[in-house]
Amino acid sequence: MTLISFIIFIIASIVMMLASIISKKTFMDREKSSPFECGFDPKSSARMPFSLQFFLIAVIFLIFDVEITLLIPFILIMKISSIKIYMISLMFFLLILLLGLYHEWNQGALKWSL
């Protein structure tokens, strides 16, 4: 049984390596080989102004990403906590998020056009 599993493993590994070699695209250009970070071209001057819109989009993404990770435990503890305490803490958390969203909207961070 162990020998058969080992043989299947070796064959699967060889097939995956061959598929990777065969499907590899060899066309490389400047854009594909250079990293893209922070909304600017790394091959250009380092003294270019930073894109504030890119930064704001990244911050908004992080805020809502953290929001999801903080809401999951609320769902998990729903059965073991008091409904009154649960609702108060959930509403307080959502109020903080809505106030932050209102502040971003008020500051113009959600405007997608230039």
Q: Which of 3-12, 34-43, 72-81, 91-100 is predicted least confidently?
A: 34-43
Strands annotated E in the chain: none
Looking at residue 101, its pLDDT comes to 82
Statement: residue 30 has pLDDT above 80 = no
Strand partners, 37: 40
Contact 50, 40 (CB under 8 A): yes
User: How many C-beta atoms lie closer than 10 Å to residue 112's C-beta?
Assistant: 6
Distance CA 28, CA 23 (A): 14
What are the C-alpha distances in Å from 114 to residues 52, 61, 104? 11, 19, 16
Q: Helix, strand or coil for residue 107?
A: helix
Looking at residue 39, its pLDDT comes to 56
Mean pLDDT of the residues in the chain? 78
Provide mean pLDDT across the span 18-28.
76
Q: Comparing 34 with 16, which gets the higher pLDDT?
A: 16
C-alpha closest to that of 36 among 58, 62, 60: 58
Looking at residue 21, its pLDDT comes to 83
